[in-house]
Structure 1
């Protein structure tokens, strides 16, 4: 653990103007406040914030950040308040400490909800000051270094998974690759202990038996470049164990089949030197097609710059090579932190595009699960580059589609997208993009996002925007259903219902306004009896539930037909009592009864048309629904439970489509009338397991 004077000396070494008294006061304060608290390792607890502060000095961060690192756990783990920190160390440090502090006191929330709320607060604080993220990443890195001291395997795996899912990708997104690699390695050891032991063992075996081959290859590269007049540094290493395991999993290959285990780095003095070195290596050794990437002319979103290539060395050995300047290397290893110097003029612009996307996702996410899912997608690591027709560059996750691209350009462009051209050729919206594609989005202002898009989009921003738009559309539809049901309920009352009665009903039901009433009815949160009683108190006396109201005979009668004439209800439109209907009589056959807007009648039918209406007996009609369920256990049972609870008999149920996200079903239900069928649709749409429900 760093001693007090050692920490101060580190800061003064790069910032001679740092206030030594403030640093000493913060060090003593954290030691006093954490007192006798111990870590799982048995070390004094204050050793943790001191080590986090030490990590911050390695990045040469400013004094408020060092003080924040020292104090970052005092509010959570001691009796210290933000107000006290503000009084003793100033508002800037108080704001940073508050941003880093975790919300650990939310006892009532589930694990996912706690994680989501912590992440929500963290992202919002980070958007105001990236130093919050830098301290948090150092905090997580030091906790991972001591994770093995925690006795509970379940807790170790939970922390490791959170690190792998959120913090390592966040470190990558701000370009802190050293932090990212160490976090991944430590998390990998906990999550896949057998694979970790096997791969690290094999790498150690290679080091013992290769006779210094890595150093020999690095020397050969250096000699070839030096002979061409380039002053370079060349270093080599085995690839990261986690990246090897990831490649094995993605390619479904064994360790022996991974041919590019060795990686080399060439450091030059200038960009021109980078390209010269690349040319020399490519003319001396055969390059592997498709493996060259130029992140110098087109940097990654986090500012990463480097040339990447792969060569075939002697004996068909494949090696990876990264070429960059020395300045690029520092930026690449420590990202935005490398630019966040102790001098204000060196600080990076806080407006980072991907960070703005994350904040938009925080605002758009509906619940904890969505927030975690969308954020993990937004910080996905493998990237591709695509261009607008005017040449604007956008970086997207590997596997992104034109819909993802449209939302990356602007939310409205995604909402209005109806088609796309890639490199001038019309393609389906689900087509994956590749590096260098020029993407043109075809839009229509009357269009809206489709639920099916969730089956192929890969960015958190697109997924959040689609779900938000679909929810808004469903809200409109639920309100429309509620209005229809309201009119049907009001029609059963003994008096005409006016605006005043509706206003009084809203007040009695403790709702905000008339729209909220329609949403509650359409969303099956109010039954008919409650609505009737709210509109006209006493009107529902003696009536408990809709299914206990007087029922009709289980037969259907049609007005407008001659007595004894046979008829059947159309299987194309499945009319139910309440629909406007028409009869179609073909010569020598009975009468088919269709809904007036049946699509089969739209193109004209060579038959006699009869003006019909429903008779007094209207029970037992068949209504057909298309129901899209989320593809997870229990959703079909949930839907059938709604049918049973609504006293609707299932006549036929068939799955007509399924993918990784949704299962689509067609179901024929025996219902009383249109109002009965509408209530069922409303109840389905209110269910968490149902993505979409509509009448066919």
Structure 2
């Protein structure tokens, strides 16, 4: 990417397009280049460069994807209707209706405030999907536009950088992934990560450098090993290796709650073959030579993703026991894997790509929007959109052998609602591969799932914490809302009365009607029901009517109101076995004397209460800022050197965390193992402390310590 103020010549752009599309309309490309240059004359970017350098770079990004002339011309003109004297009619008469419609579509997308409030954001997501349904190329231009803006984001104000980076991480990166453009998703995430957490990214980069220094060029050695193995089996294939992007590594560390030193598969390898048959021959050769890691095999060739993605994924233990991820696919599958839905418009040797694996964009977008059209509720729609965009599918089977696609992490509850809402509502249990399992069990690829139903059964509030799909959660929420509406309305009225009195106002019917209207809800009862069910906070309701009087949510939340979902006479007690933190999914178990023990949703102690659903409570942490008063036990192994323990304690203190207890559990000549109780705010605070410890060179390992033996009822507190 050029950093000079000289414009990228039109000749070079045309030459890059002609290389893959000799039949390109060169005159029209040059005319669009000249028109865009004239329209943006005198405009400059934050960096001081002429503004037109930006549309040129967007066009270059799309040319690298071998896209059609209309998309390239749209890129050159995408800001003209919004930012210059150009009009829709003028663009249409000069460059045709197709280009004018695309430019107009990009302009409308640019004006959508996708990172605004939840309700507004949901409406804008609907508009985004409507724009996509008209012509997906609008989104391709917008993604390329965002990619170049992220590449040059350093010229913006720090607050603007943070806003754009968060929007990129929440919306544009997962959208690129959902469209199958994985390379773009990876780069967008990493550029946003660089802005949002520069220290975290830098620490991972340092670890990579250290690893390379210690182990040498691992990629080159493993690539060589794989090539030798395939040649020995007379399989023609190309092998490529790479280290995963820093954000991809960071995400794995967060998901697995592990430090860098304990992470495996930080290297990825891609094997491109000549035929589908060779893909499976390669798989056999790799598994014969290296040990396959159980549970890490996915066959997206026999079960493609909805965006056309096909590939075999497996993870094996390579040199020195180091895990590596391997993706195996043909050249045509690889082309779709690189460009996703965009493959439909890509050219090769002057001909529109006839890739049999390229998905029809019309079918793709209709399938994506179909399930959202039924959602009347704005927030349900938004949740469903985000879940769908972030999803990575698993394939399971009904007892009759029919395939059901679900997102990764789905449970039998999600499976039941995927079959039919009626089946979901009546679910009382499940069998996976003919074995009875708890409803919170995560379904894995290839498993057979059977739902057990009973008449009279109704959805339980705890199912909201178990379900992961938007469809299941929407159906459960609707059913709960109807069943508990009267109770929630009564509770909501009391919450509203207290909240408005707190700012010196009264919660009259007129005030509540106004709040409902502002929040785009049907009526005041709907508003009160949502307050009572904790879907709306009192702060949001007060702010809707009296924005200047609403209390500052940045105030720290007291322990009395930290947990939502308890009655006035119920006291919450954090379970010492799993030590749940604000930000984590939780449930409550009731005990005699009205005490409630709060557990993390994945606490293994909960299986003791599986047959007692009446004791379970659906709880949530308050979403505001919590006090650093929640102890969590960390299991550390550190080098036995002078000053190490002091540095560890200082490091924890620098992250605004207090050490409340420290216990040595093992002392060896070269290392100590110890348990440290650290007082924290929330799950995010925990991750930042653990990452800081994991990057410390004298820390061999750091894990969160959970002890089921410490479970006890509130009477014993």
Which deviates more, 216-225 or 350-359?
A: 350-359
User: In 2, distance between residues paired with 1:655 and 1:47?
Assistant: 61
1:123-134 matches, within 5 Å, as 123-134=129-140
Q: CA deviation at 1:183?
A: 0.8
**Selected match of 1:16 from 19, 22, 38:** 22
Give the distance between the partners of 1:661 and 1:63, measured in 2 at CA. 52
Task: Give the aligned partner of residue 97 of structure 1.
Answer: 103
1:29-65, CA deviations, whole angstroms, 9 ceiling, x for partnerless residues? 2222222221122211121122111111112212221
Matching residue within 381, 386, 396 for 2:406: 396
Alpha-carbon distance in 2 for matches of 1:653, 1:79: 66
Query: Of residues 433, 444, 447 in structure 2, which corresponds to 1:437?
Result: 447
2:8 equivalent in structure 1 = 2
Q: Give me the whole-angstrom Cα distance separating, in 1, the residues matched to 2:148 and 2:104.
A: 20
Farther off after superposition, 152-161 or 454-463: 454-463
Instruction: List aligned pairs for 1:184-203, cutoff 5 A.
Output: 184-203=189-208
Decide whether aligned partners of structure 1 residues 258 and 520 sit closer, same or farther in structure 2, where only a CA change above 3 A counts: closer
2:237 maps to 1:232: yes
Report the Cα distance in structure 2 between the residues aligned to 1:107 and 1:273, rounded to whole angstroms.
47
User: Aligned to 2:131, what secondary structure does the other structure show?
Assistant: helix
How far off is 1:298 after superposition?
A: 2.0
1:425 Cα deviation (Å)? 5.4
Give the alignment partner of residue 142 of structure 1, picking from 148, 168, 177.
Answer: 148
Identify if the C-alpha distance between structure 1 residues 138 and 103 changes in structure 2 by more than 3 Å, giving closer, same or farther.
Answer: closer
1:356 to 367, 374, 383: 367
Q: Structure 1, residues 182-230: CA drift from partner, whole Å, max 9, x if none?
A: 1111111111111111111222343455443421221122112112111
Structure 1 pair 461/128, CA: closer, same or farther in 2 (3 Å)?
farther
- 1:531 is aligned to none
Partner of 2:248: 243
Instruction: Report the counterpart of residue 76 of structure 1 in structure 2.
Output: 82
Aligned 8 A contact 2:268 2:325 in 1: yes
State the Cα distance separating 1:407 from its structure 2 match. 4.3
Q: CA deviation at 1:296?
A: 2.1
1:376 to 375, 380, 386: 386
- 1:357-386 Cα deviation digits (max 9, x unpaired): 44543662534x555433222211443222
Tell me how far 1:520 sits from its aligned partner: 6.3
Contact 1:2 1:54 survives alignment (8 Å): no
Q: Map of 1:503-542 to 2, 5 A cutoff?
A: none
* C-alpha contact (below 8 Å) 1:288/1:312 kept by paired residues: yes
Paired residues of 1:301 and 1:395 also in contact (CA < 8 A): no
1:37/1:45 contact within 8 Å kept: yes
Secondary structure (helix, strand or coil) at the match of 2:286 reads: helix
CA shift, 1:396, in A, is 2.1
Pick the aligned partner of 1:454 from 464, 467, 492: 464
With over 3 angstroms needed to count, the CA separation of the structure-2 counterparts of 1:107 and 1:7, relative to structure 1, is closer
**SS of corresponding position for 1:229:** coil
1:299 is matched with 304
Distance between the aligned counterparts of 1:656 and 1:84, measured in 2?
Answer: 66
**Hey, what's the Cα distance between the residues in 1 that align with 2:333 and 2:110?**
39
Once residues 161 and 524 of structure 1 are traced to their aligned partners in structure 2, the CA distance between those partners, rounded to angstroms, is: 29
1:556-591 Cα deviation digits (max 9, x unpaired)? xxxxxxxxxxxxxxxxxxxxxxxxxxxxxxxxxxxx
Superposition deviation, residue 160 in structure 1: 1.1
* Residues 69/632 of structure 1: CA separation in 2 closer, same or farther (3 Å cut): same
Q: Is 1:85 matched with 2:85?
A: no
Match of 1:387 in 2: 397
Label 1:389 to 1:351 Cα distance change in 2 as closer, same or farther (>3 A).
farther
Q: Distance in 1 between matches of 2:119 and 2:309?
A: 33
Q: Is the 8 A contact 2:264 2:322 kept in 1?
A: yes
Report the TM-score, using the length of structure 2 for normalisation. Answer: 0.63
Cα pair distance change 1:12/1:276, threshold 3 Å = same
Match of 2:258 among 237, 240, 253: 253
SS of the residue aligned with 2:396? strand
DSSP-derived class of the 2:37 partner: helix
Question: Which residue, 34, 42, 49 being the options, matches 1:43?
Answer: 49
In 2, the alpha carbon distance for the partners of 1:429 and 1:34 equals 59
Paired position in structure 1 for 2:61: 55
Query: Map of 1:533-612 to 2, 5 A cutoff?
Result: none
Who is 2:175 aligned against?
170
Cα–Cα, structure 1 residues 657 and 330, in superposed 2: closer, same or farther, change >3 Å?
same
Alignment correspondent of 2:127: 121
SS in 1 for 2:282: helix
Cα separation, partners in 2 of 1:309 and 1:106, compared to 1, 3 Å: closer
Q: Is the 8 A contact 2:115 2:167 kept in 1?
A: no
> Which residue is equivalent to 2:561?
none
Count of residue pairs the alignment pairs up: 521
Do the aligned partners of 1:388 and 1:439 also contact (CA within 8 Å) in 2?
yes
Q: Describe the superposition over 1:223-247 as per-residue Cα deviations: whole angstroms up to 9, x where unpaired.
A: 1211211122222222221121122
Taking a change above 3 Å as real, the CA distance of residues 110 and 354 of structure 1, as seen in their structure-2 partners, is: closer
With normalisation by structure 1, the TM-score equals 0.65
Structure 2: gaps (5+ residues): 1-6, 490-512, 514-521, 544-549, 551-566, 575-583, 591-621, 623-717
Q: Relative to structure 1, is the Cα distance of residues 99 and 356 closer, same or farther in structure 2, using a 3 angstrom cutoff?
A: farther
CA distance in structure 2 between the aligned counterparts of 1:195 and 1:478, rounded to whole angstroms: 42
TM-fit CA distance, 1:178:
0.9
**Does the 8 Å contact 1:274/1:325 carry over to 2?**
yes
What is the Cα deviation at residue 124 of structure 1? 1.2
- Contact 1:124-1:359 within 8 A present in 2 as well: no
Residue 435 to residue 524, structure 1, CA distance change in 2 (3 Å): closer
Matched with 1:327 is: 332
Shift of 1:466: 4.5
Are the equivalent residues in 1 in contact too, given 2:113–2:121 (CA < 8 A)?
no
Larger Rg: 1
CA RMSD of aligned residues (A): 4.3
Question: In the alignment, which residue of structure 2 is the partner of 1:275?
Answer: 280
Q: Which runs of 5+ in 1 are unaligned?
A: 480-509, 511-518, 526-625, 642-650, 666-688, 690-696
Using the TM superposition, give the Cα deviation of residue 441 of structure 1 relative to its aligned residue in structure 2, in angstroms.
4.9
Note if contact 1:358-1:461 (Cα within 8 Å) is conserved in structure 2: no
Q: Alpha-carbon deviations, 1:651-684, whole Å to 9, x = none?
A: 974469999489999xxxxxxxxxxxxxxxxxxx
Question: How far apart, CA to CA, are the structure 1 residues paired with 2:166 and 2:373?
Answer: 21
Which structure's relative contact order is higher, taking Cα pairs within 8 Å and 6+ residues apart?
2
Q: Are 1:161 and 2:166 an aligned pair?
A: yes
